[in-house]
Amino acid sequence: MSEDLNIPAKALAKREKYEMLLPQISALIEGESDALANIGNIMAALKYGMDWLWVGIYFVKQHINNDELVLGPFQGPVACTRIQTGKGVCGYAWQNHCVVIVDDVDKFPGHIACSSLSKSEIVLPGYKNNTIAFVLDVDSEQLFSFDETDKEYLLKIVGWIEKLI
Ligand code: SME
C-alpha cells in the first residue's frame, strides 16, 4: 500500500474531511498488528489531515502507588509527559469518564498549557476491560474548534485504538 495520505482540502467542511480521512486511516493500519506503529500513524494522519496544532495519546500507567497519564505517540509541539488524575482537561476526562470539549482553554480551570498556541481542545477517554486505558487529546490554534461532529468521528478512532491495545 502507499503511505501517502490524500489530505482533505482546507476549505472542505469538517464532516467531509473526516469522511475522506477515516477510510485512509483504516487502510493505513489494516494488515499491521503492531499497536505502537499504528497509533503513531493514526496521530500523524489526524494532525496533517485535519490541520490541528497537536494530536496525541496519553496512556494510563502505574507510577509508584498511583496511576498517571503518560505521554504516548503524538504529533505537534513537545508536550508535558505526565498528568495526574483530575489535573487539566486530560485528567478531568479520565477522572470523570467523559468526553470533554473546551471551547476556550483559558476558561477551563486548571487547564495545562503545554503550548501557548493552543486555544481549544477535545479529550476522549478510551477503555480496556471496562477501565480507562488512555485518553486521546486534540488541540487547536483556534477557539471553538471542536463539537459533536468531532466527538462522533474521534470516538470511532478511539474504538480502533481500543482494539489495538
Ligand atoms: N492541555 C492538556 C495537557 C496536554 S497538552 O494539551 C498536549 C490538559 O489540560 O490536560
SS3 105: helix
Our answer on whether the CB atom of 58 is closer than 6 Å to any ligand 1 atom is no
What is the number of the ligand 1 atom nearest to the C-alpha of 56? 7
Give tens-digit pLDDT for 62-78. 988 899 999 999 999 99
pLDDT at 86 over 60: yes
Give tens-digit pLDDT for 47-59. 999 999 999 999 9
Question: What cell does 66 get?
Answer: 498511583
What is the number of the ligand 1 atom nearest to the C-alpha of 90? 10
Our answer on whether the CB atom of 90 is closer than 6 Å to any ligand 1 atom is yes
What pLDDT was estimated at residue 47?
97
Q: Where are the alpha helices (DSSP H) in 2-34?
A: 14-29
Query: What pTM was estimated for this model as a whole?
Result: 0.96
Across 22-34, average pLDDT: 94
How much distance in Å is there from the Cα of 95 to the middle of ligand 1?
Answer: 14
